[in-house]
Structure 1
Amino acid sequence: MKGMGNMGNMMKQMQKMQKKMMQAQDELHAMEFEASAGGGMVTVKANGKKEIIDVEIKEEVVDPDDIEMLQDLIIAATNDVLNQIDEKTNATMGQFTKGLNVPGLF
């Protein structure tokens, strides 16, 4: 019967870890990230859920004869902010999966 006590303790630890993971995930989702391109000409803000919440474009970068440059700046800033979210997510959530070898988990 001793093994059952260990199993109970393991289940409690797993529930505790799951609660901490959910809390960390909620905190990540509430965070805001920001990236800019072209020396601040285009700024993109996103939340931790990878939802774009704001795009700021300086008036002087809007050139009807060079739409491609503006598009490139928006893409660069958006990719940068999404990479920041990925890095923060991996750093935060990775602490819960260290040492675990579970396929499909992060």
Structure 2
Amino acid sequence: MNQPDMNALMQQAQAMQAQLQEAQKEIVASVVTGQAGNGLVTMEMAGSGDVKSVTIDPKIVDPDDVETLQDLVLGAFTDANTKLQQLAQEKMGPLSQGLNGMGF
């Protein structure tokens, strides 16, 4: 039987763990911008998921139509959240595939 070199596997696992931690740091340090209504509402979201800012174009503010504004804010949040998930997949995807390939 051909046994894998456990020291080599452990070194690979430690290297991948370091890469994973670095990718996580990059994600947390990132800021993505979501928008809705062709930029009438924008939202900046940190990689940690914290909302950093919300910008609303005054022309969309209509006291008689609060629902549209609420929908646009929700849309900007959803867009930012989607971009954050894409960023995480971009940074973490190759690493998680590498771990799976090692049998972890």
TM range (shorter): 0.7 to 0.9
User: Unpaired segments of 5 or more residues in structure 1?
Assistant: none
In structure 2, the residue matched to 1:92 is: 91
Q: How far is 1:91 from its partner?
A: 2.0
In structure 2, the residue matched to 1:42 is: 41
TM-score by length of 1: 0.86
Q: How far is 1:62 from its partner?
A: 0.9
Q: Percent identity?
A: 33
Q: Deviations over 1:57-98 (max 9, x none)?
A: 111111110000000000011001100111111121110121
The residue type equivalent to 1:68 in the other structure is E
Q: What are the within-5 Å matches in structure 2 for residues 1-106 of structure 1?
A: 6-98=5-97, 100=100
Q: How far is 1:14 from its partner?
A: 0.6
Runs (4+) off by over 4 Å: none
Higher relative contact order (CA closer than 8 Å, sequence separation 6+): 2
CA RMSD of aligned residues (A): 2.0
Q: How far is 1:39 from its partner?
A: 1.8
Q: How many residues align?
A: 100
